[in-house]
Amino acid sequence: MCSRTEGHLKVSKTNLFLFAGMAASLGSLALAQTAGQKQTKSKRNQRPPVVQKVTPVAPAPVEEVVAPVVEVPTSVVAPEPAAPPSPVTDEAARAALKAGTAASAAGDLRQAEQAFRTALTLAPPGETGDSVALEATKRLGFLAFEKRDPRSAETFFGAEAVLARRLYFSGKISPRAFADSVQRFASATGSMGRSGESAALSFYAQEIKSRAQAEVSSQILNRDTNDPADSVGNVRVAASGLCVVGRDPILKDRVSCEDEEGARGEALALQARQIKASAPPPPTKAEREAKEAKNKGKGG
């Protein structure tokens, strides 16, 4: 019985070893399986990395440049050069002036006046037309005298004197022609009853002639002229505000009231300077005392 028991013990020990090995194997497998499950679970619970999605920026639209369409002519024709402007002349005005002179010679004063007015209208502006305008105003002044119209005569002779002064200072007419026109203006002003201005204009006309002669003499004798009036300073003159050239509208584009005022003022100022220069010098103290003593002797 003991032997049986030992045999059973041997078998039991062998079985125990087998069971122990199997248990160890099973335990290892269980541990491995558990570790694998944990690792799998850990991987499942782990969040995937966030990947930012970058949206590509669209490029700015490029404007399409369209080149202009240039039409190329099949045959290029060079432009013709512009014709130079025709020179301004006073031929038409002079033709009308000639017709007026012929009508005046024939005794047709109405036709002559109309032709002279036409010449004055056709005279181009500026110095180109001043010469023919000067002649037309002179003719109209003479016609006014013939018609016994002193008012119109003063108007047109005044315009003639203003035009003559302008042409004289620009060297277009002689001093004598200028002086003659001023003298006609003086006569017409006197016929209107303004003797003071008429006298000043007459003196102006004479002074123009005398100064021109003195200038010629100085050039011949090679010496300077000496006019006492030139040494007198500026003088104040009282000129009337009358404007005779403004009476007829046909003269408005040719002469102005300012031109006439300049001519009148110059005549009056020149006369005043001459009067002042020609006046005797004031007496000295000795001359005044001698005169007073002489007067006392006569009274005693």
What is the end-to-end Cα distance of the chain in Å, rounded? 220
Instruction: Write out the two tokens for 286.
Output: 């000795």
Give whichever of 52-61, 138-147, 192-201, 284-293 has the largest mean pLDDT. Answer: 138-147
- pLDDT surpasses 80 at 102: yes
The tokens describing 120, both together, are 């004055």
Q: pTM for the full model?
A: 0.62
- Rounded Cα–Cα distance for residues 229 and 276 (Å): 8
Tell me the C-alpha distance between 118 and 128, whole Å.
16
Q: Give the pLDDT confidence of 60-82 residue by residue, as tens digits.
A: 555 554 555 555 455 555 566 66
Mean pLDDT value across the chain: 75
112 CB neighbour count, 10 Å cutoff: 23
Q: Is the Cβ–Cβ distance between 270 and 204 less than 8 Å? A: yes
Q: pLDDT per residue over 194-216, tens digit each?
A: 888 898 899 889 888 888 887 77
* pLDDT computed for residue 11 by the predictor: 46
